């Protein structure tokens, strides 16, 4: 009797496990999750789009639509310089942050932890993150000054039309 109950219980558990499937919002594979599609989630799971993403998206949009926006060679050059400069700075900054994190890990793994040294490294790591955020905001502010007011209005109109045409295509 006990064996039968155990067998039935195991069978029920096995069936439950077999019919239940985990669900993840997997960006990229089958398209973004609904929150991502609505622009409410960023790639790190937070709400909103990061300033870095806004900068690179806007710069890419300007360059992709340079003819429609009637960008001058000087404007194109400035946008490309801003993109490259920020990308280089952030790459260097990310490497320094990773190095600081490795140093923190190494210090923590020692038998006697020098908390003052660890705290200094932690401060350095977060100062680097602050510097990256400030650098990104500066680049974004500069990017916003490259276009004339007329070009900015054209860009907004073009983005609106493009956004609405995508919605119309889906219906």
Query: Could you read off the pLDDT of 6-24 as tens digits, one per residue?
Result: 565 555 555 555 555 554 4
Domain check: are 24 and 98 in the same one? no
Q: Are residues 137 and 63 in the same domain?
A: yes
Q: What is the pLDDT of residue 49?
A: 84
* Domain termination residue (choose one: 31, 48, 65): 48
| Residue-number span of the structural domain to which 130 is assigned | 50-170
Q: Are residues 15 and 42 in the same domain?
A: yes
Check residue 39 and give its pLDDT: 46
Q: List, in order, residues 6 or more apart from 97 with CB less than 8 Å away.
A: 125, 128, 129, 132
- Return the pLDDT at 8: 59
Listed as ranges, residues in the chain with pLDDT below 50 are 23-45
Q: Are residues 65 and 36 located together in one domain of the fold?
A: no
**84 and 129 in a common domain:** yes
**Pair (79, 163) in one structural domain:** yes
What pLDDT, on a 0 to 100 scale, did the predictor assign at position 1?
65
pTM to 2 decimal places? 0.64
* Structural domains in the chain (count): 2
Q: Could you tell me if 55 and 126 lie in one domain?
A: yes
CA gap 74, 146 in Å, rounded: 9
Same domain, 153 and 133: yes
Quick one: 9 and 58 in the same domain? no
Residues 106 and 137 in one domain: yes
User: Is residue 119 domain-shared with residue 64, that is, in the same domain?
Assistant: yes
Verify that 113 and 143 share a domain, yes or no.
yes
Tell me the chain's radius of gyration from C-alpha atoms.
25
């Amino acid at each position: 009797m006990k064996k039968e109950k155990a067998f039935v219980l195991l069978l029920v558990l096995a069936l439950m496990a077999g019919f239940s499937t985990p669900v993840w919002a997997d960006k990229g594979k089958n398209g973004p999750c609904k929150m991502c599609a609505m622009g409410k989630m960023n790639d790190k799971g937070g709400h909103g789009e990061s300033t870095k993403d806004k900068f690179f998206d806007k710069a890419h949009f300007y360059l992709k639509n340079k003819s429609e926006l009637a960008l001058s060679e000087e404007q194109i050059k400035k946008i490309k310089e801003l993109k490259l400069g920020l990308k280089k700075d952030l790459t260097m900054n990310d490497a320094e942050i990773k190095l600081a994190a490795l140093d923190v890990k190494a210090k923590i793994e020692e038998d006697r932890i020098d908390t003052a040294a660890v705290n200094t490294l932690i401060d350095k790591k977060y100062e680097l993150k602050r510097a990256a955020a400030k650098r990104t905001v500066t680049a974004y502010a500069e990017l916003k000054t490259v276009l004339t007011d007329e070009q900015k209005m054209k860009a907004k109109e073009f983005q609106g039309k493009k956004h609405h045409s995508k919605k119309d295509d889906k219906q």
